[in-house]
Amino acid sequence: MSRNFLGPILLLSLALFLVPYAAGAPVGGNISNGTSSGATAQTEGQIYDVVAGNVSNVNVTGTSITERWAGFYGNISGGIKLADSSNNVFFEWTVSDLTDAVVYIANGSVSSWATTNIEAANYTLMPTYIEVDATDEFNNTFNATEAFTSTTYNIAGTPYAATWSGGSQGSLKTYSLYDKGGDVLIWAAKATAGSTGFDSSNLDYQALVPVNGSTSLSYTFYLELP
């Protein structure tokens, strides 16, 4: 498969901080923007001089830049508090280990976090640009399934993608979910505190999300504490 234009992948470093009023379903997350960068495809071909009468063994390799996916990564912090309507804190609990927290990244505002409203999202629910016959289509990316579990949810048969950690696929996974009431896709990144990230840095989560070509797409962040 060849492409004439290769859009950059968005990699946005985010530190999420959230203090919900009570433990339970996901709530809106505050984000702190970090750096964003993308790889560049090699545009110049290499030259090989050939002489008439010769047969030359030339093996050709190349790596394209995806036009269909972008990444988020970062750290998480948060806690639980008891407060009045003026946000005067009566008591507060700090979550010391954010392992098993979940960062939810939605392409719209989630209509309800009720367990009856959130389900696994498969190929038939995906936007057309990741349903095409391509190497980086949805089914070739979210190519395994297992139960997605969190403090609130246990959703069997959820497609997921394991993102890279220090040069190979690791344990930081993104799951594809669906808000039935709002017709919203949700990409759920399960956190593991102090993980080794794709760039060998120390982070808590990585999330893989779809983006169409070189256009931008707005995502809404939510956080569920363990």
Question: What is the residue range of 70's domain?
Answer: 11-38+63-224
Establish if 43 belongs to a structural domain. Answer: no
What are the tens digits of pLDDT across the range 139-175? 999 999 999 999 999 999 999 999 999 889 999 999 9
Establish if 131 belongs to a structural domain. Answer: yes
Pairing mode of beta strands 102-106, 220-224: antiparallel
Establish if 116 belongs to a structural domain. Answer: yes
What are the tens digits of pLDDT across the range 83-110? 999 999 999 998 888 888 999 999 999 9
- Rounded average pLDDT over 76-80: 88
Establish if 51 belongs to a structural domain. Answer: no
Residue 16 has pLDDT above 60, yes or no: no
What are the tens digits of pLDDT across the range 176-203? 999 999 999 999 999 999 999 999 999 9
Name the pTM for this structure.
0.80
Establish if 109 belongs to a structural domain. Answer: yes
Establish if 52 belongs to a structural domain. Answer: no
**Burial level of 103, CB count in 10 A (0-12/13-18/19+)?**
buried
Residue 2 has pLDDT above 60, yes or no: no
> Nearest Cα to 105, choosing from 2, 207, 179, 217?
207
Establish if 140 belongs to a structural domain. Answer: yes
% of the chain exceeding 70 in pLDDT: 82
Cα separation, 22 vs 25, in Å, equals 9
Q: Phi, psi at residue 124, to the nearest 5°?
A: -70, -15
Q: What's the domain count of the chain? A: 1
